[in-house]
Structure formats: C-alpha cells, structure tokens
Structure 1
Amino acid sequence: MKLDLSLDEFNAIMAERGWVVFPRAVDPALVARMAEDLEAAWDICRAMQEKNGVASDADHTVHHLIGLKPSFLEYIDASEALNPYYEAYFGGRYILNSFGGAINTQGRTSYAQRIHRDIRSYSGDMPLLLNTLVMLDDFTADNGATYMLSGSHKAAEKPSDEDFYAHAERATGPAGSVLVFNSNVWHAGGNNTTDRARRSVTPMYCRPFIKQQFDYPRVLGYDAGASLTAHTRQVIGYNARVPASLDEWYQPPERRMYRGDQG
C-alpha cells in the first residue's frame, strides 16, 4: 500500500469531516481475488440466509468473510500499512469487529441503502468503532457510491431524509481505494443505475474490550494464531480473547488470552 496522507492530516480530516478515502491503496491483484471470492461467498451466505428464513432485505449482502475464502485474511495482512491511522483514531490497539461485504446491482436494494450508522449507541468523542470499505470496483455516482454526511459524527440525532440527501457527499474512487470513517457518521449506499455490479468489502474495527460480532479466532482455530503475523494475530482478536477456565486465566503475561496492552 502507498499512502500519502500524514497522520496529522488524517486526524484533522477525521475530526472535522469524519471520513477519508485512500485512493488505490490495495494491490490490484488482491482486489481482483477479493472480488472473485466475494461472488463465491455470496452463494454461501445466501444459502444460509434462505435456510434460516432471513433472506428478505439482505439481497447481495454477505457477512463474516474471514475463513470463507483466503483473500479476505490476506487483506488483513496487506492492510498493516493502514495500522498507524487506525491506531491514531483509537488511541491504541484495536481488533476486527466484523468483516462483511456487498454486491450492489441494478434494481436490487438492501438495508445498506437506508440512511444509517453502524454503531447502535452514539459514542460522541469516544471512538469505539471504525468503519472501512474496500472498493473492489470503481465507485461512481452512477453505480451507487456511498453517501456520506460530513460532520454528522458530531451529533447524536439522525438527520431527516431531506437534509441528508441535500448535503451528503459521495465517496467515489477507483477500485482498490479504501474509505475510512467514524462509525458515528450517517451514511447510505446509493442505487446502481448501471448494468455492472459495484462490489465492496467492509471490515469494521473496534477497541479490544468490545465483543466481536463473530469469534474469528474460533473460526480460524485457536491454535492458528501462532502461524499469523503479529499484526494479523492482533487484528483478528487472538490477543483479546475471554478465558473459559481457571487454567486459561492463571497464566503468565505472555500467555494470557487477554493481553495487558489491549486497553
């Protein structure tokens, strides 16, 4: 990844506007693999949605991609270049909260296209959650680039539809760009009016003491952490697990399931 934004610039933009786009931050070959894997992941997720009767309003949305296809874990490795920005936002360590995605196609809608924020409780100046979105195709106004209401992370109240669409900006960029935003920012997916899919994956991060939406260490295997890079082991959540026995609790610092540097 080649990133030209200084940390001071990043902090200033996030404080004022609440979101920033890193253009062409991901290697094109990895982008292509994730796009292909996303299509396969959709088939897996859709089968489970239909099996359990939760297929409505979730068209072409996928969830918890870690462990489904290898490129998504590879992205966590590759995103280490963004680590200084994410640690600056949180003021320290963070872990993966969820890793979903979407395939936005003409004539299809899902919950992601409603005006929303992805943190259920407004956190004000305390950064608890960070949204990111990796553009696997070019994001344009025509194919449904995300609407972002700049500065809306400073207020708890949801804006009216009229106010939102009157002032929201579009997060556009070429494939491989990464949108990063404060999870208090109100946003909405746009409508795709083209004949080509607009695909993305959406890793979200949180402070280590917040529960992950999915037990990613359990998915990969609790012993698999030793084979991962230090960065990926941290982000996946191996350093912020909950002990399930006294034997797991009574361990020296270097072997504890929740490490002392996690906040």
Structure 2
Amino acid sequence: MAKTINIKEISSTIERELPTNGVVRVSGLVNDEFVERLRQQCLSSIEIESQKMGTADYDGFGRLLFAPVYGGAFLELLELDFIADLAKTYMGSEPILYTMTTSCVAPNQSNYTAKIHRDNNIRPAGCVRLLVMQILLDDFNEENGSPMFLKGSHRKETEPSNKRFDAEAQMITGKKGDVIFFDPWIWHRSTKNQSNQWRSCVLLGFVHPWMKQRFDVKPMLEATDLSGCSDKVLGVLGLKNTPPKSWSEFYSNNKPIY
C-alpha cells in the first residue's frame, strides 16, 4: 500500500518550509491502488451524506462530517507510518485527530472552501504547532480546483484583503498520491473545478493530546468496526486519550493514559 518513504528526509523538508512558508507539497507518498480505493470511498460516502441531507445543494456538499465513521480505507490511511510519524516529529507530541474530512469538488462547481479561510482561528498561547495534511486523490491542476495558499500568512494576525490574496497567493498543483502539509493558520482557498470530473482529497487535522477534538469521537465511532485497528490508530483517533476517571485508575497505570 505505502511506498518506501524516507521519514527523516520529509521531516526535514516540513521543518524547513512550514515555519516560514506555512505550506509544502511532498510527492508520491501514497500509491495509486490505495489512492483509488480511498477516492471511491470518499465519493460513495459523500453520496450517503447528501442522501441524509435530502439534497446536494448545501454548503458542505463534498465534505464528510467525520470520515472515520465509514471505516474501510479511511482507517487504513491512518495505519500508514508517515501519517502519525510526521505529525509527531513536527508537533513534538503524540498527535490526535482534530478531525478527518474530505474536500471534494464536484464537476463544474465550487464548494465551501472557495472562500479565503483558515482551518483554525484560535492560535494557542505560545504558537503551539499544529498540522494539516491534504492527501491528493486526483491530479490537481489549474483547471480542476487546486488550492491557493498565501505563503507566510500564518505568521500574521490580520486577514489579508481579497485584493492582496488574489495578487500574492500561489496555486499548489500536484499528482494523486502527493500530500500537501500546511499550518492550519495559513490563509488559503480552493478554486472552481472547471473540469467534468470530481476533484477529490482527504484532509487530516492534528492537535496535541491535551487539546479538544472537534467531535466526541467515541460515540461518533460507536457503530464503526474498529477491530482491525492497531493501537497506534486508536491513539490517533483519540480513543486512548481519556483522562483517568479516579484516583485508583491513575495509580494503577505505569504511565498516564491521557
């Protein structure tokens, strides 16, 4: 499933680029066979959620609320070594998912990400490092909705004007299987998909284990088969991140469970 990956080399690239620029693309981290399975599960799950909504005409169309609830390839993605390893190295602690979603743009449409935005509007005291990974499931090009990033804007408090963003932001294109790593505070947006095919990707946002996740993950995953998940993935999902609930539970463990 995974290609041979030099974690140390990629970590160095992320460490060099993100503090200054806020974004970097790394080529070929996921192979074509797994990319296609992941892409198909994205699109079928989007169809399920649009049926729940009763329409495809809503702001979040193309975004799954919390992808791991659908199991399958979404959980397998979290098993890939580079996912947790790169997040841990960059953030300096065991990462947990803030959320895991999709940003898929239907043919000849835009979606909710077309507005200039940050993925996190609250910067913790001391500028604690957080990380987002965007897994490309199609070739991203100038026609099909590739994202625009304003490099360095994660180091600024103020929102850029539309004029400045349009003048200075750079489009990041790439091949399926590439991963775009970025700081959630960077200003960015998607562009319109002017092709006749879906443009698909998965987004994973990571936070530190002492931070709150977007959802109460345990009940969210109550109906999901997690029997095939490794302890590593259960940890990334935040399911091993529960604070001790009693004096005896705290002291019965050789190391804290939070």
In structure 2, the residue matched to 1:70 is 72
Identity %: 22
Matched, 1:252 2:256: no
- What letter matches 1:76 in structure 2? L
Give the corresponding residue for 2:63.
61
Deviations 1:200-222 (A, max 9, x none): 11111111111111233444459
In the alignment, the residues of structure 2 paired with residue 230 and residue 154 of structure 1 have an alpha-carbon distance, to the nearest angstrom, of 35
Q: Which residue of 2 aligns with 1:213?
A: 214
Alignment gaps of 5+ in structure 2: none
Q: Deviations over 1:104-128 (max 9, x none)?
A: 1233232211100010213475235
* 2-structure distance, mates of 1:140, 1:60: 18
Q: C-alpha displacement at 1:253, in angstroms?
A: 2.0
Residues 227 and 206 of structure 1: is their aligned pair in 2 closer, same or farther, counting only changes over 3 Å? same
1:97 matched residue in structure 2: 98
Which residue among 10, 17, 23 is the counterpart of 2:14?
10
The answer on whether the counterparts of 2:108 and 2:195 sit within 8 Å (CA) in structure 1 is: no
Q: Which residue of 2 aligns with 1:36?
A: 40
Q: Distance in 1 between matches of 2:5 and 2:18?
A: 16
Contact 2:150 2:187 in 1 (8 A): yes
| Whole-angstrom distance in 2 between the partners of 1:143 and 1:178 | 17
1:74–1:248 distance in 2 versus 1, CA, 3 Å = farther
Cα gap change, 1:104/1:6 in structure 2, threshold over 3 Å: closer, same or farther?
closer
> 1:180 maps to which residue?
181
Evaluate the alpha carbon distance shift between residue 112 and residue 198 of structure 1 in structure 2; reply closer, same or farther with a 3 A threshold.
same
Amino acid at match of 2:26: F
Match of 1:26 among 12, 24, 30: 30
Q: Residues 112 and 221 from structure 1, CA distance in 2 versus in 1: closer, same or farther, beyond 3 angstroms?
A: same
Paired residues of 1:130 and 1:180 also in contact (CA < 8 A): yes
- Cα pair 2:11 2:90 within 8 Å, conserved: no
What secondary structure, in the 3-state scheme, does the structure 2 residue paired with 1:66 have? helix
Q: Which runs of 5+ in 1 are unaligned?
A: none
TM-score by length of 2: 0.87
Report if the CA contact (8 A) 1:135-1:175 is conserved: yes
Does the Cα contact within 8 Å between 1:23 and 1:178 map onto a contact in 2?
yes
CA contact (8 A) 1:124 1:154 kept: no
- The alignment's C-alpha RMSD in Å is 2.7
d(CA) in 2 for partners of 1:225, 1:68: 11
Name the stretch that deviates more: 126-135 or 54-63: 54-63
- What amino acid does structure 1 have at the position aligned with 2:156? A
Structure 1 length-normalised TM: 0.86
Q: Aligned residues, how many? A: 254
**Any idea what SS the aligned residue of 2:68 has?**
coil
The one-letter code sitting in structure 2 at the alignment partner of 1:163 is R
Matches within 5 A, 1:77-226: 77-78=79-80, 80-123=81-124, 126-221=127-222
Give, in whole Å, the separation in 2 of the partners of 1:82 and 1:250: 29
Shift of the alpha carbon at 1:103?
Answer: 2.1
- Is residue 110–residue 193 contact of structure 2 (8 Å, CA) maintained in 1? no
Question: 3-state DSSP class of the match of 1:92?
Answer: coil
CA distance in 1: counterparts of 2:95 and 2:242, whole angstroms: 13
* Cross-structure match for 2:50: 46
Distance across 2 between alignment mates of 1:76 and 1:248: 32
